Amino acid sequence: MRSLIFGGLIFLNLILTVTFVRAQANYVIGGKVTDESQKPLPGATVFVDGSQIATATNDDGVFRLVMPGPGSYHVSVQMIGYNTERKDLMLQDESVNLEFILKIKPVALKQVNIGGEKNRNANLEIFKKHFLGVTPNGLACKIINPEVLNFSTQKNLLVAGADDFLIIENPNLGYRIKYLLKTFQYNKQAQVTAYDGEVVFEEMQGSKSQKEHWAKNRLHVYNGSVMHYLRSVFANTTQQEGFITRQLYKQGDKVLVNISPIKVDSLVTKAGLNFVSLKLTGLQITYNLQKAAQILKQPQSINQGLTLVADSALMQRAWEQGEIDDALNEAGQTGRLILTHSPTQSENPTYRTDLLPYVKAITIDAHGRVFSGYFLSFLLKGDWTYLRVGDQLPFEYIPPAAP
């Protein structure tokens, strides 16, 4: 049974390692950053969202990023006093050159903090809970520069913004995180959090024992995650990796799930050498190593039939084609939608998440990255939504091969 559980992990590691190593010196994203008058901007931060790849422009405004191979990348430029600019690209089999023109950011009046420091501290605690998360990793995170945050409230809605990168230290995973917050909203009445932004990771310095501790925690975070699932979709190893995928159906005012697992490869088509396209339908995704191994060994033992998943008003409206934005707006949210979910902690976690599509298909690379972004492509309800910034990994992360 262990070979069934871990065999796909070894294969997936091989794919990731080959992908990252084979072209590390050959794939470069280069370019130049200027202002609106074409004057070079030295010292601008250029980074790849969700990665450990970042640099600063030289005196001529020129930058060079060495990439780990083909894939979907979101390149951003940030500089104090200017609006952040971002370009999305699918790096195929050659290097690319990008030109960024930054516009001066209008000077915004500082918001008056009604209620004083006590009110700000209360808002900061709410922000940390719903942005970093309340898992052990989320609770361990520390925001180094909370002074860059600003808060405003409107009825039951807390809104947060930031003037610069949020600097976050995650001592459980060994990362120093720079998060460029675009938007954060928490609706107290609906118990819904929405946030969006761009993030870059740095390795923290540590002793040998600390690094071993970080490696263990990182693997625990990776197993069963969205990144893990999408990488296994790319490698066609979802069940070998421990995932069970079932079809969701809408029937009247209810959402039903077919108990019989589907073969994910029936939804996947190749999109060139470096990408696959996953046809999105309503899916229920369960991460359970033992159950997945059992299904692989005895597929005929699986029951057939439909069972009720949920009948929440938000989920039903979101299911209807063209009404997802209405459901988000009714909840007072924009951008990434995260539904509050109670945590389950275990050394061998079992996760279950319902996935409802915004789009008909997504393009996935070997890193598990989606060109259009996770939260612009589908609505999640379940355990994955509970894992916030404190449980994020950079896309360069490769789990250790099973012994």
DSSP conformation letters of 241-260? TTEEEEEEEEETTEEEEESS
Q: Which residues have a Cβ under 8 Å from the Cβ of 329 and sit 6 or more positions away?
A: none
Residue 283 has φ and ψ, to the nearest 5°, of: -130, 145
Whole-number Å distance between alpha carbons of 251 and 268: 25
| Residue 3, pLDDT above cutoff 50 | no
Strands (E), 22-95: 28-35, 45-48, 54-56, 62-66, 71-78, 85-91
- Nearest in space to 340 (alpha carbons), one of 309, 312, 321: 312
Q: Residue 14 above 80 pLDDT?
A: no
- C-alpha torsion sign, points 109, 115, 121, 125: negative
In this predicted structure, what is the pLDDT of residue 350? 80
Integer Cα distance of 128 and 134 in angstroms: 9
- Give me the pLDDT at residue 389, please: 96
Percentage, residues of the chain above pLDDT 90: 55
Domain with CATH 2.60.40.10 in the chain: 23-102
What average pLDDT does the chain have? 82
Give tens-digit pLDDT for 144-172: 999 999 999 988 899 999 989 999 999 99
As assigned by CATH, the class of the 23-102 domain is mainly beta
E-assigned strand segments in 109-148? 142-143
How many whole angstroms separate alpha carbon 271 and alpha carbon 269?
6
Is the pLDDT score of 335 beyond 80?
no
**175: its two tokens:** 């990362």
| Weakest-pLDDT range from 52-61, 63-72, 355-364, 375-384 | 375-384
Structure tokens at 166: 């949020």
In 3D, which of 324, 344, 349 has the Cα closest to residue 334? 324
Residues 6+ apart with CB under 8 A from 114: none
What pLDDT shows up at residue 356? 87
Residues 401 and 240: their CA atoms lie apart, in Å, by 14
Structure tokens at 113: 């903090």
pLDDT in tens, 251-261: 777 778 888 88
Antiparallel, parallel or unpaired: β 28-35 and 96-102:
parallel
Average pLDDT over residues 224-237: 96
Structure tokens given for 97: 């050159």
- Please determine, for residue 17, whether its predicted confidence score (pLDDT) is greater than 50: no
pLDDT given at position 264: 94
pLDDT grade, residue 308 (50/70/90)? low
Question: What CA–CA distance (Å, rounded) separates 84 from 25?
Answer: 28
Helices 289-297, 2-22: axis angle to 10 degrees equals 100
Query: Distance (Å, rounded) from C-alpha 8 to C-alpha 296?
Result: 12
Structure tokens at 327: 């459901």
